[in-house]
């Protein structure tokens, strides 16, 4: 096996950033303020400002952020979830006491469309969760928001991939009652762990602050008024996230530059096609997604890239649709052929916040060599 040259993901903290994180953590240790303190409050303020939000509430994870929003809005019944999202999206619905219903997605965005949402709506629907896959916000958002308003159902944006992404100048969260973000280590903004809720609704923000702290009416005391949990963000995680958040504009600019290089190179390759960025969108490119032709065997391509060229593809988003997961086998759904197709055929090329043009060229040359052989595997 060839030595790994291009990893699937790379977490980037400069020496200056590491020093600042340590300074903030040391200050927390000196004061004893280790959770729900000034660093977390500063992170919330900075994140709200950078994402055009009136309120931001830090949480222990993106999953808890989503569950808190569902609980804070008092949602029960069925909540529509795309079939090609991460386990946590549907799990948060279930843990909050509602029931997921899976919907199909559009091939051009890997996201819900107004048509696929309408096909999944029932008399029991109380909300729709749109997932901004790979960091691209679908041009269908206006239509989905109008449909939800007309049907009297809530709209929630799972923006775990979409730090800094915009559509027509609007950030994730601009269409729904709230958006939720994740700071898992591979995300464009990393906090080791953690999540964030952004919303324009002050009542929802207040509810979220109650739910994240064991349902208490106040941090320093008070009755337990909600069935919350330990969903707080620690000051240590807030320090990591706050410092990394300051690098968001540079990270997005780098990722977008690499994405344009990939776009140009893949346009001339047989066996693979670019997932185009929608007009008016400015994605963060948490993932660079491309679609393989049906006769290209993905596992064979992955192996050839890694073994022969030292290039590791990033993890899919997502390789197996949720209705194929045993835990969700009984979740109701209609036709999900679109989700099944894109889950089976897409790949994610490595893309990092400090990636060089030379590294991107290595990926392209490796793909140019490996694609014909991966296509041949299906023909054997």
Which pLDDT score is estimated for 376?
65
Torsion angle of the four alpha carbons 21, 26, 27, 29, in this order, in degrees rounded to the nearest 10: 130
Instruction: Please give the pLDDT value at position 105.
Output: 98
Q: Where in the chain is the domain with CATH 3.90.1150.10?
A: 248-379
DSSP string, 318-358: -SS-GGGSGGGTT--B---HHHHHHHHHEEEE---TT--HH
Q: How many residues can be counted in the chain?
A: 380
Please report the sign of the dihedral spanned by the C-alpha atoms of residue 250, residue 254, residue 255, residue 260.
positive
Cα–Cα distance measured from residue 315 to residue 125, given in angstroms and rounded to the nearest whole number: 31
Question: Which pLDDT value is given to residue 133?
Answer: 98
pLDDT score, position 377:
53
Boundaries of CATH 3.40.640.10 in the chain?
15-245
Q: Which CATH number fits domain 15-245: 3.40.50.300, 2.60.120.330, 2.40.10.350, 3.40.640.10?
A: 3.40.640.10
DSSP string, 24-40: HHHHHHHHT--BSSHHH
Contacts of 260 (CB under 8 A, 6+ apart): none
The position carrying tokens 């946590």 is 88
One digit per residue, pLDDT tens: the chain, 380 residues?
A: 789 999 999 999 999 999 999 999 999 999 999 999 999 999 999 999 999 999 999 999 999 999 999 999 999 999 999 999 999 999 999 999 999 999 999 999 999 999 999 999 999 999 999 999 999 999 999 999 999 999 999 999 999 999 999 999 999 999 999 999 999 999 999 999 999 999 999 999 999 999 999 999 887 778 999 999 999 999 999 999 999 999 999 999 999 999 999 999 999 899 999 999 999 999 999 999 999 999 999 999 999 999 999 999 999 999 999 999 999 999 999 999 999 999 999 999 999 999 999 999 999 999 999 999 898 654 44
CA-to-CA distance for 112 and 125, rounded, in angstroms?
A: 15
Question: Alpha carbon 362 to chain centroid distance?
Answer: 27
Strand order in the sheet with 288-292: 272-274, 288-292, 346-349
- Structure confidence at residue 182 (pLDDT): 98
- Closest among 140, 192, 137, 142 to 167, alpha carbons compared: 137
CATH number among 2.60.120.200, 3.40.50.740, 3.30.360.10, 3.90.1150.10, domain 248-379:
3.90.1150.10
- What pTM, to 2 d.p., does this model score? 0.96
């Amino acid at each position: 096996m060839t030595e790994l040259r291009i990893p699937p993901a790379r977490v980037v903290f400069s020496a200056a950033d590491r020093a600042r994180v340590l300074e903030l953590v040391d200050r927390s240790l000196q004061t004893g303020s280790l959770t729900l303190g000034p660093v977390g409050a500063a992170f919330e303020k900075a994140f709200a400002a950078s994402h055009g939000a009136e309120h931001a509430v830090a949480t222990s994870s993106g999953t808890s952020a989503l569950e808190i929003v569902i609980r804070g809005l008092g949602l029960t019944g069925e909540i529509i979830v795309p079939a090609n999202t991460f386990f946590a999206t549907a799990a948060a619905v279930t843990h909050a006491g509602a029931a997921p219903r899976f919907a199909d997605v559009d091939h051009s965005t890997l996201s819900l469309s107004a048509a696929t949402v309408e096909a999944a709506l029932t008399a029991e629907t109380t909300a729709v969760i749109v997932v901004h896959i790979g960091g691209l916000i679908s041009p269908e958002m206006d239509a989905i928001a109008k449909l939800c308003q007309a049907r009297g159902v809530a709209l929630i944006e799972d923006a775990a991939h979409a730090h800094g992404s915009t559509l027509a100048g609007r950030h994730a969260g601009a269409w729904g009652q709230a958006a939720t973000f994740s700071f898992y280590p591979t995300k464009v903004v990393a906090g080791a762990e953690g999540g964030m809720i952004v919303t324009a609704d002050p009542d929802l923000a207040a509810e979220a602050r109650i739910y994240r702290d064991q349902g208490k009416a106040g941090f320093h005391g008070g009755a337990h008024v909600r069935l919350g949990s330990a969903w707080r963000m620690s000051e240590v995680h807030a320090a990591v996230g706050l410092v990394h958040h300051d690098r968001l504009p540079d990270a997005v600019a780098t990722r977008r530059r690499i994405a344009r290089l990939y776009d140009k190179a893949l346009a001339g390759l047989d066996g693979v096609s670019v997932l185009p960025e929608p007009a008016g969108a400015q994605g963060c490119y948490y993932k660079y997604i491309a679609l393989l032709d049906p006769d290209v065997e993905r596992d064979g391509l992955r192996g050839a890239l890694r073994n022969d060229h030292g290039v590791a593809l990033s993890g899919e988003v997502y390789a197996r649709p949720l209705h194929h997961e045993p835990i969700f086998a009984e979740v109701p759904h209609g036709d999900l052929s679109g989700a099944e197709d894109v889950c089976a055929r897409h790949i994610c090329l490595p893309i990092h916040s400090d990636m060089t043009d030379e590294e991107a060229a290595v990926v392209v040359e490796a793909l140019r060599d490996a694609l014909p052989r991966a296509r041949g595997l299906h023909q054997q």
